[in-house]
Amino acid sequence: MSAGGAQDKNKGSKASREPIAGPETLEPPYPILVEGEVVSGFGRGGKQLGIPTANLPEEVVERTLADIPIGVYYGWARVEGDSGEVRPMVMSLGWNPYFKNEKRSGEVHIIHKYADDFYGKHMKVAILAYIRPEKDYESLDALIDDIHTDIRVAVASLARPAYARVRENPFFTS
């Protein structure tokens, strides 16, 4: 869906995108800080897409994130037991039209290779900017290609000083 709420009719075209998303400095409402226990999702991220996700609890999605547009975001995340590391992330917030989800979800892909799942671990997420609206796709490969583009955009965008500093926010250590 677009920021206005209507589903994007672009079926995952290969149109080029800007390499960086968001302004040079954070602007309200960002950062949006959320946390909760990692819960089981639909089981597609790692298995079907090769892009594992840590799912936010339904109450976080429905209460804390209810007022932000559906789409893809980037920021930082920290998972309990990960040596205190704060890592880059991309997050899909929405209905995932390709999979025809019946409930809204918040799926965080932490840009790091983990050996194990971390269901039940506490996760903190700082959402810093919007990348793009949610889309439907003609194929699974088109969806995967777009997610990889989102990851590249997130990494480049987070390298800017105003965004990199959020990694040191006391939220992650409290």
Query: Which residues are annotated as catalytic?
Result: 107
Please report, for residues 47, 108, 140, 171, the alpha-carbon distance to residue 125 in angstroms, rounded to integers and kept in the order given.
23, 9, 27, 9
Cβ proximity of 69 and 56 under 8 Å: no
Q: Where are the alpha helices (DSSP H) in the chain?
A: 58-59, 140-158, 161-164
For residues 105 and 92, give the distance between their C-alpha atoms in angstroms, rounded to a whole number.
8
CA 36, distance to chain mean position in Å, is 15
Strand partners, 12: none
Q: Per the structure block, which two tokens stand in for 148?
A: 């990889």
Q: Which residues contact 134 (CB under 8 A, 6 or more apart)?
A: 1, 7, 8, 70, 71, 72, 92, 93, 94, 95, 96, 97
